[in-house]
Structure 1
């Protein structure tokens, strides 16, 4: 009897998610228990539509393709934002998936994604267990938001943090050249957890203290105090660089940039631009030069700024996911556990996905200063190792060379 596997990717892309995919592929190719590894295009949607590719054919005996895949941004297999229905209310989606598993002799299912993807892992692992099917379901983490619980940090975050910090430093250089008062506001991804915005602190060095103010969604935001903070900064310097999370909320819990009650497929509020909102406020109150910059998709796809630590850990977490499945584990997510900061050391393990799905890791209160406009040294110690090291992205014609599924086929 053949024992095959399927892997899929879901949610928002990262610079490092394909490194985890490469780890899964490597683990399966080296396994003596897995005959064929399929990839489902566009997550569980592609799985249900039976849009599969044979990854064993593409990558077996092709180490070069695998190495390029590790450094390719975004998602090689494509993505989706599909939340499976509650099986007690409607099992039709699960029945379709199970029929696909049976047709292709699937005994291992690997799903790479963030919080909502781990919800899918939890639901699928329960369903196959209740139906006494020999299918191991394993989650492999990713998210630049770094908001998954249990694991010390998530693949993709370190590279995004490195990009954010470098961008803030470069924008500070751009700001400092003019002999006039100015405020630059950098809006950084982070709807409910401010890890990426906090990472902007790594831009500070011996000659620049930018960002001079940092505001996170974990601390209630006051526009009045924001103005006072800027006034205090202007007493010390002519140019102010401010880092803000897109998900800043007021003391009542309302997003300061939410103009409507519209929500996306997962019930997340639709935001209209925190940076622009605050830019107008600063212009009105101070009449100085003010600019807001939204660091948007660049922070999650800038492979040229990838953290070597992030890429290696993402690869290892993919390998660990396969190892967990081959050990007979199911309903688990591969995790990274930090042993020490200096020297930086980690180990890889597995954890019950039911403890992870639909939970959210916020920044500890002790890592935010009392005024709510900066982070502490504990935060810096946590962040610093995650951005270590650069990677050598392969090139063709002096441009980055990445792997694209259509070309590989």
Structure 2
């Protein structure tokens, strides 16, 4: 191992989760305690903070406030959706990043995010190698979508899955209080991978969840959907449907009527409004009472329903990133692998090549979806259950959540 001393920068990117700051704490706390890391800097709004020289001196923060990050949702340092050009096409951003790295003697760079964030991390890593600037770069996984390549699961997914399953169980009870029937359609996040929508079936496994679940891994057929809904409604007098926002027809076009409304910084369609579209069609075709529910941001910021397992693993991922980097490893992302020991779930970290992870999506295995394409099989439920376990002891102030309050002192 070659010893390398210098400052580190940590940044958060992409859509936040209820445990993304637990990973931040894992990185920041571990880095502050390591003698090889001379200074810990937090980038304001991810890579944009590096480009704009907006870096916070994390050593100036109260340790107790930093610890509160473990139970604070969203991105405490601010996030971004910024797509960096290929350095062979335009080196402008990379030259600026190198300038900032040299200014603060940055020798470690940790970036916390999903697919697109790992692409950013990969590009920076390869550029620093190309120009001969020694800087160890590590990706820290994050995404409620659970679609990062090579890792068994992603920090943030377990808590979102728990929120979705719990919300489904609660909606199930409410949707059956009257003696008149109703169709309820719940829209759940997930553009190309249906992990989140599939989590709704965990509620069904415990007696209070959706009758039908539609994932983007299977082409959507509107006529079959209406037939499914009508069949269940006639059998039960009610029908509860969970749909991924990214369900699409056989030609690849999104079912959502809002598919062309906007795109994010990476050119992905910003979906939404699917539940409104489907409820209108169901009402028109079947003539029954229909209610649409969109969980929207609630599923990714519901820290009050976070999984303790998810919090611990998110923190573990951040800690592993720092420890591996200091031990001489670079150009990797921390991943998870699961094992069963004495009948109990165990999670360990492993390392994945950034090039392999960048822009590659992990889908729900087709064999975990039923033949009809309108629900998931038991192996999916068994996969999710260990990830939603545990109730964290949440800091409170007058019975309200007490989240971290960072001073965010700019580095000089």
Structure 1 and Structure 2 fold alike (TM over 0.5): yes
Corresponding residue of 1:289: 289
Match of 1:392 in 2: 393
1:181 maps to what in 2?
181
Instruction: Name the CA distance, whole Å, in 2 between partners of 1:371 and 1:99.
Output: 55
1:222 has 2:221 as partner: yes
Partner Cα separation in structure 2 for residue 408 and residue 197 of structure 1 = 40
Contact 1:249 1:256 in 2 (8 A): yes
1:45 aligned residue: 48
Shift of 1:405: 2.6
Alpha-carbon contact 2:191-2:244 (below 8 Å) kept: yes
CA contact (8 A) 1:258 1:269 kept: no
Task: Identify the residue that residue 90 of structure 2 maps to in structure 1.
Answer: 90
Q: Residue 353 of structure 1 aligns with which residue?
A: 354
Partner residue, 1:241: 240
Deviation, 1:232, is: 1.7
**1:12 is the counterpart of 2:11:** no
Distance 1:72 1:115 in 2: 23
Secondary structure, counterpart of 2:37 in structure 1: coil
Q: Any idea what the Cα deviations from partners look like across 1:2-46, whole Å, max 9, x if unmatched?
A: 611110100001001000000001211221211110111001111
SS of the aligned residue for 2:393 comes to: coil
Q: Are 1:366 and 2:367 an aligned pair?
A: yes
Say if 1:408 and 1:400 are closer, same or farther in 2 by CA, change over 3 A: farther
CA distance in 2, matches of 1:344, 1:260: 39
Shift in Å, 1:408: 8.5
| Residue 263 (structure 1) shift | 3.3
SS in 1 for 2:278: helix
**Structure-2-length-normalised TM-score:** 0.95
User: Which SS does the other structure have where 1:196 is aligned?
Assistant: helix
The answer to whether the Cα contact below 8 Å between 2:258 and 2:274 also exists between their aligned partners in 1 is: no
SS in 1 for 2:95: helix
Counterparts of 1:167 and 1:264 in 2: how far apart (Å)? 27
Shift of 1:259: 4.8
The CA RMSD measured in Å over matched residues stands at 1.6
Shift of 1:67: 2.3
Instruction: Tell me if 1:322 matches 2:331.
Output: no
Per-residue deviation at 1:272?
A: 4.3
Unaligned residue ranges in structure 2 (runs of 5+): none
Whether the 8 Å contact between 1:10 and 1:43 is mirrored in structure 2 is: yes
Structure 1 89/147 Cα, relative in aligned 2: closer, same or farther at 3 Å?
Answer: same
| Structure 2 counterpart of 1:253 | 252
Going from structure 1 to structure 2, the CA distance change for 1:398 and 1:14 (only over 3 Å counts) comes to: same
Contact 1:22-1:318 within 8 A present in 2 as well: yes
Q: Take 1:320 and 1:108, find their aligned partners in 2: how far apart are those partners?
A: 13
Shift of 1:252: 1.2
Count of residue pairs brought into register by the alignment: 405
- TM-fit CA distance, 1:286: 1.5
Q: Counterpart in 2 of 1:169? A: 169
- TM norm structure 1: 0.96
The structure-2 alpha-carbon separation of the partners of 1:38 and 1:259, relative to structure 1 and needing over 3 Å to count, comes to closer
Kept in 2, the 8 Å contact 1:258–1:270? The answer is: no
1:299 equivalent to 2:332? Answer: no
1:40-119 alignment runs, 5 A limit: 40-59=43-62, 62=63, 64-119=64-119
Call closer, same or farther: CA 1:336–1:324 in 2, change over 3 Å. same
Contact 1:257 / 1:272 at 8 angstroms: preserved in 2? yes
